[in-house]
């Protein structure tokens, strides 16, 4: 039988999600716990997959992994083997053909940072509208050999004053795409770039290309699938919120993480 797991983690002390020899990673801890519970001995044979390979320092509240398990999983037992900054929020049985990455219909990210001095929110929002729809995002990603750079961005929302939030929704994202888009929008709001400069980048002109914003502000907030429903434990959500955010911020952001089941998928699901 095959299961998908919704995973939350604070990426601050890990060298990214994906396993790296001799380095602490989120995936390494998850696979140790899965092995310890007798669910998976060899990831390759279990057809283990992950929805998004987050970089070093990036966190998640709704990462998804999938694999063929040797028995029905016990989420509480799995969490007892994980460090406090990683939690499995829910498990759902899925079809044998389920692919955690390819079957995702939508991914949502949030980036949080301090506003630069003199930041013009209206200009940044105007520039953000240029990014919506289908574009060649080659100037807003770290290139991966053989992967097309044309993609579609469904939603962008920028809010806040002293603390800014950037929310992005798309069927898929390229490597470092969100962090590079954030940096470009910060540059527009700070007057270092114009909306016209950003438009030219989308038209594949080189110009002054944006580097990635620091990884610590980025959170993978949701991955959606057709026909897969996770029932996340409020207790486990609270455990993660306490671990990552601290008691002072836990309540409002925990409520946002749970979302509203009656809303349509197009809603921005924010951590």
Active site residues: 55
Element housing 145 (H / E): none
Report long-range pairs for 150-155 (Cβ below 8 Å, ≥24 apart).
151/177, 154/106, 154/266, 155/266, 155/268
In 3D space, the residue among 193, 224, 216 whose CA is nearest the CA of residue 64 turns out to be 224
What angle do helix axes 195-202 and 177-189 make, rounded to 10 degrees? 150
From 3, 5, 222, select the one nearest 98 (Cα to Cα). 3
Q: For strands 218-224 and 59-68, give the pairing.
A: parallel
Q: Residue 214 and residue 137: Cα distance in Å, rounded? A: 19
Which residue in the block uniquely carries the two structure tokens 């939350």? 8
Burial of 242 (0-12, 13-18, 19+ CB in 10 A): middle
* Strand ranges (E), 69-190: 86-94, 106-114, 133-136, 150-153, 155-160, 163-170
User: Positive or negative CA dihedral for 139, 143, 149, 155?
Assistant: negative
Burial 34-47 (b: 16+ CB within 10 A, else e): beebebbeebeebb
Rg of the chain (C-alpha set): 19
């Amino acid at each position: 039988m095959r299961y998908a797991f919704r995973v939350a983690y604070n990426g601050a002390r890990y060298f990214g999600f994906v396993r790296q020899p001799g380095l602490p990673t989120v995936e390494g801890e998850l696979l140790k716990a899965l092995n310890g519970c007798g669910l998976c001995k060899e990831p390759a044979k279990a057809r283990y997959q992950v929805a998004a390979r987050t970089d070093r320092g990036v966190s998640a509240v709704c990462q998804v992994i999938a694999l063929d398990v040797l028995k029905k999983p016990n989420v509480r037992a799995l969490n007892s083997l994980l460090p406090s900054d990683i939690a499995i929020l829910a498990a759902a049985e899925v079809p044998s053909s389920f692919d955690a990455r390819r079957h995702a219909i939508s991914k949502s990210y949030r980036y949080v940072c301090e506003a630069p001095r003199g930041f013009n929110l209206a200009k940044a929002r105007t520039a953000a509208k240029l990014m919506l729809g289908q574009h060649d995002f080659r100037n807003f990603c770290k290139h991966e050999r053989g992967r097309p750079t044309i993609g579609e961005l469904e939603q962008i929302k920028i809010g806040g004053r002293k603390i800014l939030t950037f929310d992005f929704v798309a069927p898929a994202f390229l490597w470092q795409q969100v962090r590079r888009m954030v940096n470009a929008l910060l540059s527009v709001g700070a007057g270092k770039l114009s909306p016209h400069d950003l438009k030219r980048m989308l038209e594949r002109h080189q110009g002054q290309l944006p580097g990635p914003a620091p990884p610590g502000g980025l959170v993978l907030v949701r991955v959606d699938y057709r026909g897969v429903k996770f029932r996340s434990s409020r207790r486990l959500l609270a455990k993660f919120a306490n671990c990552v955010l601290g008691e002072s911020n836990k309540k409002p952001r925990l409520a946002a993480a749970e979302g509203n089941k009656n809303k349509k998928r197009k809603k921005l699901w924010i951590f």
